A and B are shown apart, each in its own frame.
Chain A
């Protein structure tokens, strides 16, 4: 009985106004709504920025659904990603995701900003796009932040964030690959785990 209700409910949802459908989500609106939601929660709860654990959990909740960590991991590890076992892939993603989301959370909480300006997105192809934004600060020059997104199963997912010309993920590429080359992927995962534990 409950299953039937759930099925009916999901049918209702599927026939809901198109505004809720994935296909009407633009890359910019994905970034806009995720960013707004992080900013709103920070404003509603200012002591979040002094509580790293809760801050991280909040940012994680908001941004995680919009990231494609598989693609991020593949870009960072290259051939070592293809050679890794499913279990290694899963463990690597889990630790790397923690690291990136934590970094993003610390960055978001530490900058005083007045607003975010959205520049016009640049398509790289049908399924890849850059959304350039600029965090306008307190009288100082703004910080350009570009989000790289691609289309996966009908929704736009972030696969990189470039802050003032520096890619949040590619900056790890040399370091990670040389560690994997010398000591294997399990050593890399162990190191990430230790680091994440330290910065908790």
Chain B
């Protein structure tokens, strides 16, 4: 027996996810934005959803966290998660063929995990062992893969087709899973989200001043920054030309 259901309005997030899947399976159905942002209208709704989520939950949590946590504690938390990410960076540096950097990364993780009390103190940086923020999206970039269209992911924020896939690999290969602590893992993930967001609180004010249209500002900054990261901070001159072609 068929039951007639009143058409409940999708909430913004669900609609965004559905749109996301649709857009990915039907490339070319929503080509309205500039070249690197053909899914602009979908992206804008996901952006609005993320922003609403940030307004009601994540930013308030991060603000509270920063207010009640002594500086050395929050720094230790940031460093702890940073050390886990450094482990991933070692593998990504290897995949990119940057062997000396990978060795530097191993030394860094070794020093920070021991003398640095399980990563809470960044002794490595003091010793001149530079922090490498590598991820799988960048690794694919180094292999010559273009970022592809810009994508805003629900919950995860600015990304691209390449980087969204990279993010999936980053999540699966996250050393946090090795701890196998059940509930603690989820607590740790929550903690990391809050810690990451707290690190961006100051950027909010800058963004508010700088951005005329926040969506396009974040998008164009994201694409530039990723290009720069793929080239380890030194993109070849004119490499960003395709991000905004001379008309």
Contact = CB atoms under 8 A, between A and B. Distances in A.
Nearest to B215: A175
Given A99-B212, A164-B228, 12 more contacts: A99-B209, A106-B209, A124-B237, A141-B131, A162-B228, A165-B224, A165-B225, A166-B225, A171-B217, A171-B224, A175-B217, A199-B208
Contacts of B206: 103, 106-107, 110
A195 interface: yes
A110 B212 CA distance: 20
A170 B240 contact: yes
A144 B234 CA distance: 11
A102 B207 CA distance: 11
A174 interface: yes
Interface of B: 34, 71, 75, 78-79, 122, 125, 131, 133, 199, 202, 205-206, 208-210, 212-213, 216-217, 220-221, 224-229, 233, 235, 237, 240, 243-244, 246-247
Interface in A93-130: 99, 102-103, 106-107, 110-111, 124
Give chain A's interface secondary structure class. helix
Nearest to B231: A165
Contacts of B125: 141
Contact of B228 (A165, A171, A199): A165
Given A78-B246, A177-B244, A110 B233 contact: no
A138 B75 contact: yes
A96 B78 CA distance: 36
A58 interface: no
